[in-house]
Structure 1
């Protein structure tokens, strides 16, 4: 009986090790190409952002957020070997909107690999804009329908952050509007951010990673640069404050986790 028990134990261990080895091998052999899903989970100071809810910033201003839309673009993924995959520029502009619930970006036909960091832009770069209206593709139509453009001549809104606020010197339900964009080469507020993923994002014809980002909307006014709505409630074209808001916005993204799987679960 002891011999039979030992044999059964050895057989179980062999099957377990073989199973693990097969799983590791399947992950090592990343082939073909696949999708990368990026989820933008909008929040305020650690809490989920719920439109219509209120929070108080470091300026002792109480904000009720009614709109948070922003453009992300020009995605680049870097793998463990330092190779960089640049997503095709013509397909690389996305509008995320808390209003519509459209807060996921899907990158298609990404080469198989183990990716460790991601870079993307916030807004629309001058190179894209200078292609003219005919060179914008679907982005122009989508921007117009989601309040992400002033006019073709004035350009895109990279960020549309709106709501109401009050403070010790400002009446309740005073409107605020933060629209950040670029206004010619003299006021180019397009910014990029690079994030370490922490966990390798595994891409192949069988593996679809989901990169879950937390986006702290409170950072827009309350980042390294402190912006007081009491001082100025509508900021659209400001040589002083628009660049500071652009810097704050570029730093509002962080990686929460990466889920590697077939893309059907989080």
Structure 2
């Protein structure tokens, strides 16, 4: 009798455990419905956490202190592990990432079809197609960009990235202001796209909101494939150098990890 009771207890416990595992697997494997997904941007400078106003030395021997970093992330596309893509609605796909404001570190995408996503793509800046819609075609984002100082003027267009502060060097001994702004200059539009594979799948479900943790290495702005010196040109807003800055910016992002909570 005692053995029967023990066997019954064990059987019930196993059934509960198997039922729990089955339910958990159902949630992980289900790809119906929709959910939300977050992309968090974390800024670094080389191998260390980025701190506003802290001194950093570039490859050109210049010491910079950054007091403003903002950029526009746009046109987000999610690619599933089996290759299908989801293009986030263009009308909702423009965001400003701002180091100075913690609430602007993270983008939340809503109504994303459930799926296992392996790659994320996005632009830095506002694409020419969107700009060509005119001021009336920008929706609420135009007012946000103006409020955040991410436009020169409507005719001049958006600032895609603003990287500002002061610097010193062997030849510039007094702290001197610098400004690096990317955007349209003449016939060069300077919009760039980033494609990032994720080390883990982002499991979008009605009950799971994954967060993709993107690292942005700000040192790459001046120290990417092209090494940029501020001493001869503290304000970079056009010319050949800006194209090099744009190419550098496209390489400063990587996915560190994904939370599926």
Q: TM-score range by the shorter chain?
A: over 0.9
| Residue equivalent to 1:179 | 181
Cα distance in 1 for residues equivalent to 2:4 and 2:33: 47
**What is the CA distance between 1:30 and its match in structure 2?**
2.9
| Residue equivalent to 1:77 | 78
| Residue equivalent to 2:260 | 260
1:225–1:2 distance in 2 versus 1, CA, 3 Å: farther
**SS of the counterpart of 2:116?**
strand
| Residue equivalent to 2:233 | 232
| Residue equivalent to 1:61 | 62
| Residue equivalent to 2:99 | 98
**SS of the counterpart of 2:179?**
strand
Alpha-carbon deviations, 1:170-199, whole Å to 9, x = none?
Answer: 123111100010135x20200001101111
Number of residue pairs matched by the alignment: 259
Cα distance in 2 for residues equivalent to 1:100 and 1:233: 25
Cα distance in 1 for residues equivalent to 2:235 and 2:129: 28
| 2:149 maps to which of 147, 150, 155 | 147
Task: Say which is worse superposed, 14-23 or 1-10, in terms of deviation.
Answer: 1-10
**What is the CA distance between 1:8 and its match in structure 2?**
5.9
Alpha-carbon deviations, 1:95-145, whole Å to 9, x = none?
Answer: 111122211111111111110000000001100000001111111111111
The normalised TM-score by structure 1 is 0.92
**What is the CA distance between 1:161 and its match in structure 2?**
0.2
Give the unaligned 5+ runs of structure 2. Answer: none
| Residue equivalent to 1:250 | 250
Cα distance in 2 for residues equivalent to 1:123 and 1:137: 16
| Residue equivalent to 2:125 | 123
**What is the CA distance between 1:12 and its match in structure 2?**
4.7
| Residue equivalent to 1:264 | none
The normalised TM-score by structure 2 is 0.93
What RMSD over aligned residues (CA atoms) do the two structures have, in Å?
1.7
Aligned runs of 1:209-224 on 2, under 5 Å?
209-224=210-225
Give the unaligned 5+ runs of structure 1. Answer: 262-266
Cα distance in 2 for residues equivalent to 1:51 and 1:98: 8
1:3–1:58 distance in 2 versus 1, CA, 3 Å: farther
**What is the CA distance between 1:165 and its match in structure 2?**
0.6
**What is the CA distance between 1:3 and its match in structure 2?**
8.4
| Residue equivalent to 1:158 | 160
**SS of the counterpart of 1:230?**
coil
Cα distance in 2 for residues equivalent to 1:234 and 1:194: 29
Aligned runs of 1:10-29 on 2, under 5 Å?
12-13=13-14, 15-29=16-30
1:167–1:3 distance in 2 versus 1, CA, 3 Å: farther
| 1:114 maps to which of 101, 116, 119 | 116
Cα distance in 1 for residues equivalent to 2:223 and 2:174: 20
Cα distance in 1 for residues equivalent to 2:196 and 2:68: 25
**What is the CA distance between 1:7 and its match in structure 2?**
7.1
